[in-house]
């Protein structure tokens, strides 16, 4: 048995993202010309979107998956050998990011979002909260702890205690 036993099964593990999950669907279906709903338990890509460089927003692009991830049928080999998030995560750590688990345990690893198409602000959530589906707190706030923004041409940030949002039913995490 090789040290990285599932590397050939998972292939380029770092490139598996939310857009590769069977629960995610693109916002626009070109064949019918209207918005489709996502079955993602984390978000629907309308109010909350993943952060991209330069505060751009992307509805389905994420370089790290959540615990509910299931590969789309397009990844036949991945579907065949998929053993769940915990197996994937341990292989991801071995193959790509040996420091991620330590950063997660210390609360430093995060997931970034833009909210309501406001590209001036980037909100940070602990990566473990994203993975486990703790995107919304019991008080109804979006579970973020920091907002980054540019002030006089420099990156600045404020520590925050969640963010109040009006959310649609599709955005609620279970």
Note whether residue 57 is domain-resident: yes
Alpha carbon of residue 65 to chain centroid = 6
- Which pLDDT score, from 0 to 100, does residue 53 have? 63
Note whether residue 1 is domain-resident: no
- From first to last of the 174 residues of the chain, give the pLDDT tens digit: 334 344 444 454 556 778 788 887 655 444 444 555 677 878 766 788 888 765 555 555 556 789 999 988 877 878 888 888 998 888 888 777 778 888 888 878 898 998 988 889 999 999 999 999 999 999 999 999 999 999 998 999 999 999 998 755 544 443
Among 142, 126, 120, residue whose Cα is nearest residue 54: 120
Write down the pTM of the prediction: 0.76
CB-CB contact of 37 with 44 (8 Å): yes
Q: What is the DSSP letter of 13?
A: G
Note whether residue 110 is domain-resident: yes
CB-CB contact of 35 with 90 (8 Å): no
Note whether residue 162 is domain-resident: yes
Alpha carbon of residue 174 to chain centroid = 15
Alpha carbon of residue 41 to chain centroid = 11
Note whether residue 166 is domain-resident: yes
Note whether residue 100 is domain-resident: yes
111: left (phi over 0), alpha (psi -120 to 50) or beta: beta
- Which pLDDT score, from 0 to 100, does residue 78 have? 80
- Which pLDDT score, from 0 to 100, does residue 125 have? 94
Q: How far apart are alpha carbons 114 and 119 in whole angstroms?
A: 6
Q: Which residue has 């489709």 as its token pair? A: 36
Q: Cβ–Cβ contacts within 10 Å for residue 72, how many?
A: 15
Looking at the structure of the chain, the number of domains it has is 1
Range of the domain at 140: 7-171
- Which pLDDT score, from 0 to 100, does residue 168 have? 54
Note whether residue 19 is domain-resident: yes
Note whether residue 73 is domain-resident: yes
């Amino acid at each position: 048995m090789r040290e990285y036993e599932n590397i050939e099964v998972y292939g380029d593990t770092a490139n598996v993202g939310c857009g590769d999950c069977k629960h995610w669907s693109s916002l626009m279906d070109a064949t019918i010309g209207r918005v489709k709903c996502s079955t993602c338990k984390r978000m629907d890509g309308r109010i909350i979107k993943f952060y991209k460089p330069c505060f751009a927003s992307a509805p389905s692009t994420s370089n790290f998956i959540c615990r509910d991830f299931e590969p789309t049928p397009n990844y036949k080999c991945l579907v065949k050998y998929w053993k769940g998030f915990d197996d994937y995560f341990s292989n991801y750590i071995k193959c790509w990011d040996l420091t991620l688990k330590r950063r997660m345990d210390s609360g430093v690893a995060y997931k970034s979002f833009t909210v309501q198409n406001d590209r001036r602000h980037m909100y940070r959530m602990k990566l473990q909260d994203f993975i486990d589906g703790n995107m919304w707190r019991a008080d109804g706030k979006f579970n973020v702890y920091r907002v980054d923004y540019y002030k006089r041409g420099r990156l600045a940030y404020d520590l925050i205690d969640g963010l109040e949002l009006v959310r649609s039913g599709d955005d609620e995490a279970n």
